[in-house]
Structure 1
């Protein structure tokens, strides 16, 4: 895969844009840090930002054992900006090995050049953490299929004067479809875009399923107004304190505390776009308690 044609500036505005994206939109810092499951939605543990190690294994339904890499300067100091950019948008490591797309690089392939450059600039500013992460391994035949997944970089053309266009961009690069579109053996089900129902098992045996976020009135968010949508995210602002997890009650992998940091204007744009997608009637049972 080709290297993205980008130049990375290190000015404060660029770094701040990257911080915003990596913590609240593309949420790179979510999977590449350690999450604290003592609390609802697993907020990240302070001081672990970017150290890697989050595991995605057989017990969660993955075809192998995959670990989020260390993305602090301790691990990336010998990577060029183009190396990091290619990893983000094409899913290829510095050594040419493909990543498993639990990191949604097919979604990140839509990042505007300026946003991709901002994320890279921000990653360079993370506190370096020496933390060795276990090697990932894919089962057969996924180890062969993996090599066919990385694609080329294709920045999305966004009309900055159109809320729906801006919202489509945010919904895309935030990877909403990765969890909110049901799939079978890694293939998204046709006609079910953003219709929810994707199951996520928890170690205790409980299952949480992604919500239907299409504008279907009965089973999606068609009955939500803009204020309800925005408040759903802002409810989990860390300034309000974290909600302790309760054994036997619903938890979620959805990193609410990170997405809560999105600006109201960005959330309103996402809402505007989600109003335009095809409504899909798909009732979802959000949570099944452990039978253990």
Structure 2
């Protein structure tokens, strides 16, 4: 009996050691390898950073709620999900309450690996699963642009998550399973415009994050990418944006580019809700980028849209 008890205790200790080792942010780097940093001698391109900022829709979640100035990134939006409520943080350049004291390297690691400067995992409600596709140069430029925005005072309250989701360390296991660490690579067989659209949609635009079904672990189901799914906040169904008849099949690239600029659909309707906030951002992009995004979305495999429970 005593030997069995000792063996059980030893197994528990080994299990705890294994959990701590596997959930460390350092473990992720050992498995995926650290991505290349930007050229230290390169000056950030703030105008390109502005384009990345609006492509990424940073204002949609991080702008101070009920404030007309969408460049005040003080956070505070409550993002409800099946895992609990996430309170979106302050990412303004405030030295104490925002990210004003971060380095470019801190920012790039947060965007690619979901790790804070003090070594804590960020929950994947922050869509670093898409932002990891971005180049080091674009991330450097984005950070430089964000440092030009107003510094907003005030910290946001902690997330409200039930057990076991409140154990932040466990996110390390989720990353090992679902964060692949891959930066976008252009397809040499495709046009420059289509590659640009793929980069914007898959990387900063993170369109797949809302327009896809997820599994029980909250990870995107590969074969359901872009085909729509239940709104995680319980506000109905997020639409299919593949060129299937249940999605945007039959749309022209010009019609889809128009939607990204004005919110108007080919059926003379106007998008609203969260997509309205997305359009407010994509409307700030160059016409060529909206056109490129439209071309890429219309090149996706057609998939039947989400039908919901029978």
- TM-score, length basis structure 2: 0.74
Is the CA contact (8 Å cut-off) linking 2:231 and 2:238 kept in structure 1?
yes
What is the match of residue 30 of structure 1? 60
Return 5+ residue gaps in structure 2 as ranges.
1-24, 265-269
Offset at residue 65 of structure 1 (A): 3.0
Q: Distance in 1 between matches of 2:273 and 2:160?
A: 25
The runs of at least 4 consecutive aligned structure 1 residues that moved more than 6 Å come to none
Question: Aligned ranges for residues 48-127 of structure 1 at < 5 Å?
Answer: 49-56=72-79, 60-74=80-94, 75-127=98-150
SS of the residue 1:65 aligns to: strand
> TM-score under structure 1 normalisation?
0.78
Three-state SS of the structure 2 residue aligned to 1:50 is coil
Match 2:243 to one of 215, 237, 242: 215
Taking the TM superposition and a 5 Å limit, the aligned residue runs for 1:206-285 are 207-216=235-244, 218-236=245-263, 251-254=272-275, 255=277, 256-282=279-305
Show the counterpart of 1:147.
172
For 2:219 and 2:93, how far apart are their aligned partners in 1?
34
CA distance in 1, matches of 2:225, 2:60: 24
For structure 1, the residue ranges without an aligned partner over 5 or more in a row are 37-43, 238-242, 244-249, 286-292
2:221 corresponds to which of 174, 189, 200: 189
Q: 1:152 to 1:201 in 2, by over 3 A?
A: closer
Q: Distance in 2 between matches of 1:275 and 1:124?
A: 35
Output aligned runs, 1:127-166, within 5 Å. 127-142=150-165, 143=167, 144-150=169-175, 151=179, 153-158=181-186, 162-166=192-196
* Cα 1:26–1:149 shift into 2, 3 Å: farther
1-structure distance, mates of 2:180, 2:104: 17
CA RMSD of aligned residues (A): 2.7
Q: Distance in 1 between matches of 2:263 and 2:65?
A: 15
1:198 to 214, 219, 230: 230
Deviation at 1:34, TM superposition (A): 2.2
The count of residues paired between Structure 1 and Structure 2 equals 257
Distance 1:26 1:163 in 2: 18
| Offset from partner CA, 1:184-212 (integer Å, 9 cap, x none) | 3313234211111322446xxxx232111
For the residue of structure 2 that corresponds to 1:183, the secondary structure is coil
The alpha-carbon deviation at position 152 of structure 1 amounts to 6.8
Tell me if structure 1 keeps the 8 A contact 2:38–2:140.
yes
Residues 7 and 117 of structure 1 are in contact (CA less than 8 Å); yes or no, is this contact kept in structure 2? no
Q: Are the aligned partners of 1:90 and 1:152 in contact in 2 as well (CA < 8 Å)?
A: no
After TM superposition, give the deviation of residue 225 of structure 1 in Å: 0.7
C-alpha distance in 2 between matches for 1:78 and 1:283: 43
Distance of 1:89 and 1:198 partners within structure 2: 26
Provide the rounded CA distance (Å) in 1 between the counterparts of 2:52 and 2:124.
Answer: 19
Which structure has greater helix proportion?
2
Shift of the 55–257 alpha-carbon distance from structure 1 to 2, 3 Å rule, reads same
Q: Is the 8 A contact 1:212 1:284 kept in 2?
A: no
